[in-house]
Protein backbone atom coordinates (compact mmCIF):
# COMPACT_ATOMS: atom_id res chain seq x y z
CA UNK A 1 0.00 0.00 0.00
CA UNK A 2 1.27 3.43 -0.95
CA UNK A 3 1.99 5.49 2.11
CA UNK A 4 0.56 8.74 0.78
CA UNK A 5 -2.76 9.75 -0.67
CA UNK A 6 -3.81 12.95 -2.40
CA UNK A 7 -6.67 14.98 -0.98
CA UNK A 8 -8.18 17.48 -3.40
CA UNK A 9 -9.82 19.98 -1.15
CA UNK A 10 -12.23 22.74 -2.14
CA UNK A 11 -10.99 26.11 -0.90
CA UNK A 12 -13.20 29.14 -0.77
CA UNK A 13 -12.11 32.39 0.80
CA UNK A 14 -15.04 34.79 1.11
CA UNK A 15 -14.32 38.17 -0.35
CA UNK A 16 -11.29 36.87 -2.25
CA UNK A 17 -12.64 33.99 -4.35
CA UNK A 18 -15.77 34.14 -6.47
CA UNK A 19 -16.05 30.35 -6.44
CA UNK A 20 -14.21 27.49 -4.75
CA UNK A 21 -10.87 26.36 -6.17
CA UNK A 22 -9.47 22.88 -5.67
CA UNK A 23 -6.16 22.51 -3.88
CA UNK A 24 -4.20 19.25 -3.58
CA UNK A 25 -2.42 18.00 -0.49
CA UNK A 26 -0.45 14.82 0.16
CA UNK A 27 -1.37 13.19 3.43
CA UNK A 28 -0.21 9.93 5.00
CA UNK A 29 -2.39 6.98 4.07
CA UNK A 30 -2.77 5.15 7.34
CA UNK A 31 -5.09 2.37 8.26
CA UNK A 32 -7.83 3.69 10.59
CA UNK A 33 -7.40 7.24 9.32
CA UNK A 34 -10.66 8.86 8.39
CA UNK A 35 -10.97 11.68 5.85
CA UNK A 36 -11.26 13.97 8.85
CA UNK A 37 -7.84 12.82 10.08
CA UNK A 38 -6.42 13.70 6.68
CA UNK A 39 -7.93 17.19 6.94
CA UNK A 40 -6.59 17.59 10.48
CA UNK A 41 -3.16 16.57 9.21
CA UNK A 42 -3.35 19.28 6.55
CA UNK A 43 -4.38 21.85 9.13
CA UNK A 44 -1.63 20.86 11.58
CA UNK A 45 1.26 20.28 9.20
CA UNK A 46 0.62 21.69 5.73
CA UNK A 47 -1.78 24.61 5.72
CA UNK A 48 -3.19 26.13 8.88
CA UNK A 49 -5.67 28.26 6.96
CA UNK A 50 -7.92 25.35 5.99
CA UNK A 51 -11.34 25.62 7.67
CA UNK A 52 -13.70 22.76 8.45
CA UNK A 53 -16.08 21.70 11.20
CA UNK A 54 -15.90 18.70 13.48
CA UNK A 55 -16.39 17.85 17.08
CA UNK A 56 -16.95 14.31 18.29
CA UNK A 57 -14.95 12.31 15.73
CA UNK A 58 -17.22 9.36 16.41
CA UNK A 59 -20.20 9.87 14.15
CA UNK A 60 -22.56 11.33 16.70
CA UNK A 61 -22.37 15.12 16.68
CA UNK A 62 -23.23 15.48 13.01
CA UNK A 63 -20.93 18.43 12.34
CA UNK A 64 -18.36 16.92 9.97
CA UNK A 65 -20.55 16.31 6.91
CA UNK A 66 -18.85 17.01 3.58
CA UNK A 67 -19.03 15.89 -0.02
CA UNK A 68 -16.46 13.15 -0.57
CA UNK A 69 -15.94 12.12 -4.20
CA UNK A 70 -19.39 13.50 -4.91
CA UNK A 71 -21.24 11.73 -2.10
CA UNK A 72 -22.41 13.29 1.14
CA UNK A 73 -20.49 11.64 4.01
CA UNK A 74 -19.57 12.06 7.64
CA UNK A 75 -15.85 12.60 7.21
CA UNK A 76 -15.05 11.14 10.62
CA UNK A 77 -16.74 7.87 9.63
CA UNK A 78 -15.33 7.59 6.10
CA UNK A 79 -11.90 6.04 5.76
CA UNK A 80 -9.02 7.05 3.53
CA UNK A 81 -8.12 3.45 2.75
CA UNK A 82 -11.53 2.96 1.14
CA UNK A 83 -10.55 5.59 -1.41
CA UNK A 84 -7.00 4.38 -2.07
CA UNK A 85 -5.10 4.97 -4.25
CA UNK A 86 -6.92 8.29 -4.52
CA UNK A 87 -7.12 11.11 -5.20
CA UNK A 88 -10.04 11.98 -2.94
CA UNK A 89 -12.12 15.05 -3.62
CA UNK A 90 -13.37 16.77 -0.50
CA UNK A 91 -15.94 19.52 -1.00
CA UNK A 92 -18.42 21.27 1.26
CA UNK A 93 -21.90 19.80 1.64
CA UNK A 94 -24.03 20.54 -1.40
CA UNK A 95 -27.20 22.60 -1.26
CA UNK A 96 -25.99 24.88 1.51
CA UNK A 97 -24.29 28.24 1.13
CA UNK A 98 -20.55 27.95 1.68
CA UNK A 99 -19.15 30.21 4.38
CA UNK A 100 -15.51 29.30 3.88
CA UNK A 101 -13.61 26.25 2.57
CA UNK A 102 -15.56 23.26 3.88
CA UNK A 103 -17.80 25.17 6.27
CA UNK A 104 -21.45 25.62 5.25
CA UNK A 105 -24.27 27.69 6.67
CA UNK A 106 -27.06 25.48 8.01
CA UNK A 107 -29.06 28.39 9.41
CA UNK A 108 -31.92 27.49 7.07
CA UNK A 109 -32.42 24.13 8.76
CA UNK A 110 -32.09 25.65 12.22
CA UNK A 111 -34.97 27.96 11.34
CA UNK A 112 -37.13 25.19 9.92
CA UNK A 113 -36.64 22.67 12.66
CA UNK A 114 -38.70 24.40 15.37
CA UNK A 115 -41.58 24.96 12.94
CA UNK A 116 -42.40 21.23 13.04
CA UNK A 117 -42.35 21.30 16.85
CA UNK A 118 -40.02 18.38 17.45
CA UNK A 119 -40.74 18.05 21.15
CA UNK A 120 -43.30 16.31 23.32
CA UNK A 121 -46.70 17.99 23.21
CA UNK A 122 -49.43 17.05 25.69
CA UNK A 123 -52.98 18.33 25.87
CA UNK A 124 -52.69 18.31 29.65
CA UNK A 125 -49.38 17.68 31.39
CA UNK A 126 -49.88 15.27 34.20
CA UNK A 127 -48.17 16.25 37.43
CA UNK A 128 -44.75 14.81 38.19
CA UNK A 129 -46.08 12.99 41.25
CA UNK A 130 -48.12 10.75 38.98
CA UNK A 131 -44.89 9.33 37.63
CA UNK A 132 -43.48 8.83 34.16
CA UNK A 133 -45.43 8.43 30.96
CA UNK A 134 -45.01 4.71 30.48
CA UNK A 135 -44.27 3.13 27.14
CA UNK A 136 -43.98 -0.46 25.98
CA UNK A 137 -41.02 -1.69 23.91
CA UNK A 138 -43.39 -2.03 20.92
CA UNK A 139 -44.41 1.61 21.29
CA UNK A 140 -40.76 2.58 21.43
CA UNK A 141 -40.07 0.66 18.23
CA UNK A 142 -42.68 2.74 16.42
CA UNK A 143 -40.50 5.85 16.39
CA UNK A 144 -37.04 4.75 17.55
CA UNK A 145 -35.55 4.74 14.07
CA UNK A 146 -36.58 8.36 13.49
CA UNK A 147 -35.10 9.41 16.83
CA UNK A 148 -31.59 8.40 15.71
CA UNK A 149 -31.13 11.59 13.65
CA UNK A 150 -27.97 13.56 14.46
CA UNK A 151 -28.87 16.62 12.35
CA UNK A 152 -25.88 16.09 10.08
CA UNK A 153 -27.68 17.47 7.01
CA UNK A 154 -26.40 14.78 4.68
CA UNK A 155 -30.00 14.16 3.65
CA UNK A 156 -30.57 17.80 2.65
CA UNK A 157 -27.32 17.70 0.77
CA UNK A 158 -28.49 14.65 -1.19
CA UNK A 159 -31.99 15.95 -1.91
CA UNK A 160 -32.58 17.47 -5.37
CA UNK A 161 -35.98 18.81 -4.32
CA UNK A 162 -34.31 20.86 -1.59
CA UNK A 163 -31.62 21.93 -4.06
CA UNK A 164 -34.24 23.25 -6.47
CA UNK A 165 -36.52 24.76 -3.87
CA UNK A 166 -34.88 25.67 -0.56
CA UNK A 167 -38.28 26.43 0.96
CA UNK A 168 -38.90 22.65 1.15
CA UNK A 169 -39.13 21.68 4.83
CA UNK A 170 -36.85 18.77 4.03
CA UNK A 171 -36.11 15.20 5.07
CA UNK A 172 -34.67 15.44 8.59
CA UNK A 173 -37.22 17.98 9.83
CA UNK A 174 -40.13 15.84 8.60
CA UNK A 175 -38.56 12.68 10.01
CA UNK A 176 -38.18 14.43 13.36
CA UNK A 177 -41.81 15.54 13.27
CA UNK A 178 -42.77 11.91 12.65
CA UNK A 179 -40.51 10.87 15.51
CA UNK A 180 -42.91 12.71 17.83
CA UNK A 181 -46.10 11.99 15.89
CA UNK A 182 -45.47 8.28 16.30
CA UNK A 183 -44.57 8.52 19.98
CA UNK A 184 -47.36 7.10 22.13
CA UNK A 185 -46.77 9.79 24.77
CA UNK A 186 -47.21 12.66 22.33
CA UNK A 187 -50.48 14.39 21.46
CA UNK A 188 -49.19 17.08 19.12
CA UNK A 189 -49.79 15.55 15.68
CA UNK A 190 -52.52 18.09 14.88
CA UNK A 191 -50.19 20.98 15.80
CA UNK A 192 -47.56 19.74 13.35
CA UNK A 193 -49.98 19.01 10.56
CA UNK A 194 -50.21 22.56 9.16
CA UNK A 195 -46.50 22.83 8.40
CA UNK A 196 -46.15 19.23 7.27
CA UNK A 197 -49.05 19.38 4.81
CA UNK A 198 -48.24 22.86 3.49
CA UNK A 199 -47.03 23.01 -0.13
CA UNK A 200 -43.45 23.21 1.19
CA UNK A 201 -44.02 20.12 3.33
CA UNK A 202 -44.55 16.49 2.41
CA UNK A 203 -46.28 17.14 -0.91
CA UNK A 204 -43.16 18.74 -2.38
CA UNK A 205 -41.31 15.43 -1.97
CA UNK A 206 -41.15 13.27 -5.10
CA UNK A 207 -39.62 10.29 -3.33
CA UNK A 208 -36.21 10.45 -4.93
CA UNK A 209 -35.06 8.41 -1.96
CA UNK A 210 -31.53 9.84 -1.93
CA UNK A 211 -31.95 11.22 1.60
CA UNK A 212 -32.33 7.72 2.95
CA UNK A 213 -29.39 6.49 0.90
CA UNK A 214 -27.21 9.26 2.32
CA UNK A 215 -28.29 9.00 5.96
CA UNK A 216 -25.47 7.61 8.14
CA UNK A 217 -27.92 6.65 10.90
CA UNK A 218 -30.47 4.66 8.87
CA UNK A 219 -33.17 7.12 9.84
CA UNK A 220 -34.88 6.60 6.46
CA UNK A 221 -36.42 10.07 6.20
CA UNK A 222 -37.94 9.14 2.82
CA UNK A 223 -40.04 6.50 4.55
CA UNK A 224 -41.09 8.99 7.22
CA UNK A 225 -42.32 11.36 4.52
CA UNK A 226 -44.22 8.69 2.58
CA UNK A 227 -45.86 7.38 5.71
CA UNK A 228 -47.03 10.84 6.61
CA UNK A 229 -48.35 11.35 3.09
CA UNK A 230 -50.52 8.28 3.53
CA UNK A 231 -51.63 9.44 6.99
CA UNK A 232 -52.45 12.95 5.77
CA UNK A 233 -54.25 11.71 2.65
CA UNK A 234 -56.37 9.28 4.66
CA UNK A 235 -57.20 12.08 7.06
CA UNK A 236 -58.15 14.38 4.18
CA UNK A 237 -60.53 11.76 2.79
CA UNK A 238 -62.10 11.28 6.22
CA UNK A 239 -62.51 15.03 6.68
CA UNK A 240 -64.13 15.19 3.29
CA UNK A 241 -66.55 12.31 3.75
CA UNK A 242 -67.48 12.37 7.40
CA UNK A 243 -69.49 15.02 9.17
CA UNK A 244 -67.47 17.17 11.51
CA UNK A 245 -68.44 15.37 14.69
CA UNK A 246 -67.57 11.87 13.56
CA UNK A 247 -63.90 12.45 12.81
Among 5, 7, 93, 150, binds ligand SF4 (CB under 6 A): 150
State the Cα–Cα distance between residues 204 and 207, nearest whole angstrom.
9
146 near another protein, judged by CB under 8 A: no
83 near another protein, judged by CB under 8 A: no
30 neighbors 38 (Cβ within 8 angstroms): no
State the Cα–Cα distance between residues 64 and 93, nearest whole angstrom.
9
Residue 52 has a CB neighbour count (10 Å cut-off) of 21
For residue 2, what are the contacts with CB-CB under 8 A and spacing of at least 6?
Answer: 29, 84, 85
- Residue 174 contact partner, candidates ligand FES, ligand SF4, another protein, none, CB within 5 to 8 A by sort of partner: none
Residue 81 has a CB neighbour count (10 Å cut-off) of 13
93 near ligand SF4, judged by CB under 6 A: no
Interacting residues with ligand SF4 between 166 and 205 (CB under 6 A): 171-172, 175
State the Cα–Cα distance between residues 162 and 174, nearest whole angstrom.
13
Residue 26 has a CB neighbour count (10 Å cut-off) of 16
CB closer to another protein, 44 vs 141: 141
Q: Which stretch binds ligand SF4 (CB under 6 A): 14-22, 136-144, 210-218, 239-247?
A: 210-218
Interacting residues with ligand FES between 157 and 186 (CB under 6 A): none
Size of the site for ligand FES (CB under 6 A): 12
76 near ligand FES, judged by CB under 6 A: yes
CB closer to ligand SF4, 91 vs 210: 210
For residue 190, what are the contacts with CB-CB under 8 A and spacing of at least 6?
Answer: none
SS3 73: strand
State the Cα–Cα distance between residues 235 and 17, nearest whole angstrom.
51
Torsion of CA 214, 217, 221, 223, to 10 degrees: 100
Q: Which stretch binds another protein (CB under 8 A): 26-34, 42-50, 169-177, 218-226?
A: 218-226
Q: Using CB under 6 A as the criterion, which residues of the chain lie in contact with ligand SF4 when the complex forms?
A: 149-155, 171-172, 175, 214-215, 217, 219, 221
Q: Using CB under 8 A as the criterion, which residues of the chain lie in contact with another protein when the complex forms?
A: 12, 14-15, 17-20, 70, 94-95, 97-99, 105, 138, 141-142, 160-161, 163-165, 190, 193-194, 197, 199, 203, 206-210, 213, 220, 222-223, 226-227, 229-230, 232-233, 235-237, 239-240, 247
Amino acid sequence: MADQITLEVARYRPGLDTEPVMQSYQVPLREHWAILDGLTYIKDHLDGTLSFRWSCRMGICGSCGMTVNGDPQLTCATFLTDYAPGPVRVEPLRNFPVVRDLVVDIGDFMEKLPTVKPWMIRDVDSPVEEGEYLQTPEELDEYKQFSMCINCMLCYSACPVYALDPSFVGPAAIALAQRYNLDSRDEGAADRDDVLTSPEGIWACTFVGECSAACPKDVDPAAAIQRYKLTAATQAVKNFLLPRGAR
